[in-house]
């Protein structure tokens, strides 16, 4: 549902129809000289139009050399989307991620009862538009995001073997169904313990506790290989039924099983805040462990839920270098850039939450200077993606436009403006900064 106020005064409607520009001419006599000048200008304009017709206007689709720009879409496709939204999806994005319909609790709410209705429609929509699909997600390592039956056996807890068997059946069924049709899979999501004790997201429902920016000392350039902060015997994984039953084995087996079910899909481990020192160290420990044990991991999904003023450019860059050095790809899997700071939500034991719940600073629209600052930060991020083109395989925005963003309800209800398009599907300054560098 589209909610909230209109964004961005002064933003131009995006030309999604690729129509020609034919402006009318004044119908009065021209002097010879003027006629020559007008003819020359018209010729130049027609060349420009021909160039644009040949290459098309700037789009996100063609923005990154050798990497897709994608978008995550919730709800049913195409029925839950307006014509303008569908045009945006088709024109701008090369790859689609289902926001929810491929999560385990949606696909297999009860053991053995699979429901592929929405997921099939999603894949069919992408295929009809010549777009790739990024599968999300096979195992989400949070108990509140996993159907309860996975961990139960009658009245007692399921054994390690039963949990693994259920996981493998799920993966085989889902990945096997879309074999050759889904380009990549988030095989395991959010299994790592947090960067600190506050970000395990225990009360965050479907979201996550990505308290980025505030506690992270942006720009510390932690460019080593990830030893900082986490000892070898430090906790690696967040507590969950998966971890309790199997340790790290569920991760190893999940990758092996996904590879068997579709040898050609790019297999990713996906998580948030992995640029922060302790979590980054845990991530690198995990991927080295997986590589050492022959688990077929191809890359890491770096979620990328950032907030204005808190984008950790240097640490992101260092992460690309570290993961690239291990022979892995990086996918920026859930990109957005919130304009309403949220990191204090997790600070001081949640002491600021009541106050923050009352706060909705951009309910009536996002001021131009904030949109400009957001544009600069998005532009800088894409320049970083260009610098690491050999490592970055895809950049996916988490939701289509500001009105569709999950952040309007996370971690409290407020009007957010985190994406490249406003609530009317108009390109924001950030779109121009990303596509044309302006
Ligand atoms: C995490 C998950 C996503 C989604 C977002 C919030 O990042 O990986 O599937 O639930 O939270 O929308």
Beta bridge partners of 72: 97
Instruction: Return the C-alpha torsion angle 64, 66, 71, 72, nearest 10.
Output: -140
Q: Taken in order 138, 143, 144, 146, is the CA torsion positive or negative? A: positive
Among protein residues, the one whose CA lies closest to atom 8 of ligand 1: 189
Tell which atom from ligand 1 comes closest to the C-alpha of 334. Answer: 7
Catalytic residues: 190, 334
- Eight-class DSSP state of 232: T
Tell which atom from ligand 1 comes closest to the C-alpha of 303. Answer: 7
Q: What is the mean pLDDT of the chain?
A: 85
Residue 197 is assigned to a structural domain of this protein: yes
Burial (0-12, 13-18, 19+ Cβ within 10 Å), 356: middle
Residue 15 is assigned to a structural domain of this protein: no
**CA–CA separation, 208 vs 120, rounded Å?**
27
For residues 87-108, average pLDDT = 98
Question: Using 50, 70 and 90 to split pLDDT, how confident is the model at 233?
Answer: low
Question: Residue 334 Cα, ligand 1 centroid: separation in angstroms?
Answer: 8
Give DSSP secondary structure letters for 371-392.
HHHHHHHHHHHHHHHHHTTTTE
**CA–CA separation, 265 vs 249, rounded Å?**
21
Residue 40 is assigned to a structural domain of this protein: no
pLDDT tens, position by position, 320-335: 999 999 999 999 999 9
pLDDT at 46: 46
- Which domain covers residue 131, as residue numbers? 59-436
Q: Residue 273 to residues 90, 316, 377, 379: CA-CA distances in angstroms?
A: 30, 10, 18, 21
Question: Using 50, 70 and 90 to split pLDDT, how confident is the model at 55?
Answer: low
Question: Residue 36 Cα, ligand 1 centroid: separation in angstroms?
Answer: 59
| Cβ neighbours for 21, distance < 8 A, ≥ 6 positions apart | 49
- Eight-class DSSP state of 344: G
Is residue 60 pLDDT above 70, yes or no?
A: yes
Question: Residue 120 Cα, ligand 1 centroid: separation in angstroms?
Answer: 20
**CA–CA separation, 189 vs 55, rounded Å?**
38
**CA–CA separation, 425 vs 16, rounded Å?**
10
Tell which atom from ligand 1 comes closest to the C-alpha of 305. Answer: 7
Angle at the Cα of 49 (from 45 to 52), degrees rounded to 5?
Answer: 140
| HSE-CB for 418 with a 13 A CA cutoff | 29
Pairing status of strand 299-302 against strand 329-338: parallel
Query: Tokens 């420009």, residue?
Result: 48
- Give the pTM: 0.83
pLDDT at 389: 96
CB within 6 Å of ligand 1 — which residues?
136, 189, 206-208, 272, 303, 334, 406
Question: Residue 315 Cα, ligand 1 centroid: separation in angstroms?
Answer: 22
Q: Which of 189, 192, 206, 336 to mutate to test the pocket of ligand 1 (most atoms within 8 A of CB)?
A: 206
Tell which atom from ligand 1 comes closest to the C-alpha of 210. Answer: 7
Is residue 412 pLDDT above 90, yes or no?
A: yes
Percentage of residues of the chain with pLDDT beyond 70 = 79
Residue 383 is assigned to a structural domain of this protein: yes
Among protein residues, the one whose CA lies closest to atom 4 of ligand 1: 207
Give helix then strand counts, H and E, for the chain. Answer: 12, 11
Q: Taken in order 342, 7, 136, 75, is the CA torsion positive or negative? A: positive
Residue 14 is assigned to a structural domain of this protein: no
| HSE-CB for 103 with a 13 A CA cutoff | 17
**CA–CA separation, 146 vs 87, rounded Å?**
34
Q: Which of 105, 334, 409, 410 to mutate to test the pocket of ligand 1 (most atoms within 8 A of CB)?
A: 334
Among protein residues, the one whose CA lies closest to atom 11 of ligand 1: 207
Closest CA to 143 of 32, 245, 37, 69: 245
Q: Return phi, psi of residue 189, to 5°.
A: -120, 130
Number of structural domains the chain divides into: 1
Residue 208 is assigned to a structural domain of this protein: yes
Question: Residue 185 Cα, ligand 1 centroid: separation in angstroms?
Answer: 14
Q: Domain containing 265 — which CATH number?
A: 3.20.20.80
Q: Contact 185/267 with Cβ under 8 angstroms? A: yes
Residue 50 is assigned to a structural domain of this protein: no
Residue 203 is assigned to a structural domain of this protein: yes
């Amino acid at each position: 549902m589209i909610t909230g106020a209109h964004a961005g005064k002064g933003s131009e409607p995006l030309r999604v129809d690729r129509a020609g520009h034919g402006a009318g001419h004044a119908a009065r006599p021209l002097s010879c000289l003027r006629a020559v000048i007008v003819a020359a200008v018209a010729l130049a304009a027609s060349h420009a139009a021909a160039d644009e017709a040949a290459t098309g206007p700037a789009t996100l689709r063609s923005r990154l050399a050798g990497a897709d720009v994608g978008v995550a879409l919730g709800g049913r496709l195409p029925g839950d989307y307006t014509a303008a939204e569908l045009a945006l999806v088709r024109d701008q994005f090369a790859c689609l991620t289902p926001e929810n319909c491929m999560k385990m609790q949606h696909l297999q709410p009860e053991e053995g009862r699979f429901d592929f209705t929405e997921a099939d429609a999603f894949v069919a929509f992408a295929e009809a538009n010549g777009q790739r699909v990024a599968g999300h997600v096979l195992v989400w390592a949070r108990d509140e995001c996993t159907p309860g039956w996975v961990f139960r056996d009658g009245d007692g807890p399921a054994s390690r073997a039963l949990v693994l068997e259920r996981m493998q059946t799920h993966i085989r069924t889902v990945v096997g169904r879309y074999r050759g049709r889904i380009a990549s899979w988030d095989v395991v999501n959010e299994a790592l313990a947090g960067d600190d004790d506050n970000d395990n997201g225990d009360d965050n429902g479907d979201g996550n506790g990505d308290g980025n920016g505030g506690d992270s000392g942006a720009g510390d350039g932690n460019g080593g290989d990830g030893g900082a902060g986490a000892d070898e015997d430090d906790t690696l994984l967040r507590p969950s039924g998966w971890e309790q039953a199997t340790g790290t084995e569920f991760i190893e087996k999940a990758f092996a099983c996904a590879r068997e079910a579709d040898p050609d899909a790019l297999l990713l481990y996906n998580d948030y805040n992995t640029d922060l020192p302790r979590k980054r160290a845990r991530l690198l420990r995990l991927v080295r462990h997986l590589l050492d044990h022959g688990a077929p991991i191809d890359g890491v999904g770096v979620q990328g839920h950032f907030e204005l003023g808190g984008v950790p450019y240097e640490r992101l860059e260092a992460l690309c270098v570290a993961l690239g050095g291990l022979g892995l790809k990086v996918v920026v899997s859930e990109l957005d850039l919130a304009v309403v700071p949220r990191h204090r939500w997790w600070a001081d034991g949640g002491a600021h939450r009541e106050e923050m719940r009352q706060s909705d600073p951009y309910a009536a629209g996002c001021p131009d200077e904030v949109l400009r600052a957001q544009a600069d930060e998005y532009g800088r991020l894409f320049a970083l993606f260009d610098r690491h083109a050999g490592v970055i395989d895809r950049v996916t925005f988490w939701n289509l436009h500001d009105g569709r963003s999950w952040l309007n309800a996370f971690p409290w209800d407020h009007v957010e403006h985190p994406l490249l398009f406003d609530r009317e599907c108009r390109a924001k300054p950030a779109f121009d900064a990303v596509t044309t560098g302006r």
